[in-house]
Amino acid sequence: MTIRRSLLTVVAAVGAVLVPLSPAAAEPLESTPIYSYADAVRETVWVDTGLTSPQGARVRVAADIIRPREAQTAGVKVPVIMDASPYYTSLGRGNEGQRKTYDSAGRPIQFPLFYDNYFVPRGYAVVLVDLSGTARSNGCVDVGGRSEVASGKAVVDWLNGRATGYTSATGSTQASATWSSGAVGMIGKSWDGTIANGVAATGVDGLKTVVPIGAISSWYDYYRAHGATLTMGTPSALVSRVENSAAANNCATVKSTLDSGSPSSGDMTTMWRERDYVPNAANVKASVFVVHGVNDLNVKSINFGQWWNALPATVERKLWLTQAGHVDPFDFRRSVWVDTLHRWFDHYLMGIDNGIQNDPRSTVEHQPDVWKDDVSWPVVTTPKHLYAHASSTAGVGTLNSAPPPPTEIPVWARFTDNRSSEYTWITNPTSTSSARLIYSSPALTADNRISGTPRITVTATSSAGAARLTAVLVDLGPSTIRNYRASGEGITTLSTRSCWGESGTGDSACFLDTATNKTSTSANIISRGWADLGHYASLDSRKTLSPNTPYKITFNLASTDQVIPAGHKLALVIGSTDSSYIGSAGSYPKIAVDLTKTVLQIPMTGSF
């Protein structure tokens, strides 16, 4: 962990006010551990969300709070780091699956993750919120819907004096956040970070920053891919993994709404639109620090790409992209992460002018543990249109920027859906396969960076009334990458521990260390996308296909940032049902692709 020379002194007797040692100090200021973690106030407040349960009761969510006692004694108001989650008493949080614990009186003891251990001594409060229908909150789990977004927003409002909190789940004794400065930062991985996105999209006052890690921006894009059904289960099945017993007994209507709103047709519905935060990204006023894995095959990286691109230009932002999968930066770049997050919160929650807003906007891992900073993201690229060209080998050809010759005669390439996997398709890239098409560029003469969101337009026919399409981009050449397909998704958990902050009885600041898990490959998939051909016209309604009739469809591939080294080739693979990630359309159609009307749009820095 980076340790800076302290530029702050504390005069506890006059309120623990942070005062710079010298007005002319050239180095950035930082908050320092001046408060007692052992003596911190630990309490729970139940905040009224303004909503009612299916039984007509007001929904209150439990907010477990830990904050410096000395600050309250001295009348110093403190900012809040908040993580709103459904997982605190079910799956747990972090690499070690930590759960909240309480003493016999119900007072919170263990606050999962390191935020409390590290930041409370530095003058922050940490607030961990149980989303509606989970743990000690009432109401229903609605999978990113109105109730869960209200769970987070209501607590931000309460911290700013605009909502009502209570000392118990059902009592009438009110609790006020008189100790709060009103500045709130929401953070969290996966579902937690998703709620941070949703709350930010409401434009709520007082939310100064959000740090979504591997977070969803549209729940449709978690469960669907342009009409294709991703193998992620169903929203109602996810509910059953986190809901408390009261919600399990009382929220059948909510689960029924989730089921009816997520039809297997892949249609975009009102239910999905309610859970799409991207259209409301224009409301975001908070700064945004996004962390995502380009190989995250749980929360697909399209989620960060579309969120980032939709944010207003006025929003100050930062981005970390890792080669790992669905992994917290605490476990793939720990010391740098803690230091960067410390500076980020100091600036946006405490107002310390430490210059982090002027740091490089994006930091990307192109090789294991090798990071590159850039002033923006995506980096400035030249949009390329690449075309597939047939060769004498069936289903195998070349990929280049030369458009097909103007002709009215289609050039058909054919394959059959056999529900195999993209990992099978990329083997033997020079050989014919009945299950896919593959087109490869010449060997690159220089490194070529892909930065952004590729998109493909395919014109295809199907022998059946429904069909899936998959497009995969592959780096062909020897590479060493993070082993994101292994159980740790690019990391290995060690037996040693390192400590980040202060420990207390029942809440240790020491966490298992991790190391990078690497593997070698000769064909690395760098982006993929899926679609249901029946959604060629719109996501709103799936059309039945007329056999052997051409349909034109355009869909996005995963947002990414990758370098294709000199000497390697870039390949485009087109298949049907990618059994690793999507369900089939219900049959095994024969598919024909018209190469003259198929084009890959890709953001690249170089050429070939």
Active site residues: 190, 296, 326
C-alpha closest to that of 216 among 298, 130, 121:
298
Of 326, 140, 175, 121, which is closest to residue 251 (Cα–Cα)? 140
What torsion do the CA atoms of 419, 421, 426, 427 make, to the nearest 10 degrees? -90
313-346 in b/e burial notation, b at 16+ Cβ within 10 A? eeebbbbbbbbbbbbbbbbbbbeebbebbbbbbb
How big is the CA angle at 108 (ends 107 and 112), to the nearest 5 degrees?
175
Number of H helices, E strands in the chain: 12, 33
CB atoms within 10 A of CB 374: 17
Task: Provide the 3-class DSSP secondary structure of residue 425.
Answer: helix
Decide if 517 contacts 488 (C-beta within 8 A). Answer: yes
H or E segment at 191?
Answer: helix 191-200
Cα angle 248, 94, 339 (rounded to 5 degrees) comes to 140
Indicate the residue type of 39: D
Which residues is 456 bridged to in the sheet?
Answer: 555, 600
Contact by Cβ (8 Å): 461, 548: yes
Contact between residue 329 and residue 213 where contact means Cβ atoms under 8 Å apart: yes
Q: Transcribe 84-126 into DSSP letters.
A: EES-TTTT-BTTTTB--EE-TTS-EEE-SSSHHHHHGGGT-EE
Give me the count of residues in the chain: 608
Q: What is the largest CA-CA distance in the chain?
A: 85
Q: Angle between the 191-200 and 146-159 helix axes, to the nearest 10 degrees?
A: 70
Question: How, if at all, do strands 78-85 and 125-130 pair?
Answer: parallel
Q: Where are the alpha helices (DSSP H) in 206-244?
A: 220-223, 235-242
Strands 455-462 and 599-604 come out as antiparallel
Amino acid in the structure at residue 606:
G
Q: Which helix (H) or strand (E) holds 159?
A: helix 146-159
One-letter identity of residue 170: T
In this structure, the number of other CB atoms found within 10 A of the CB of residue 567 comes to 12
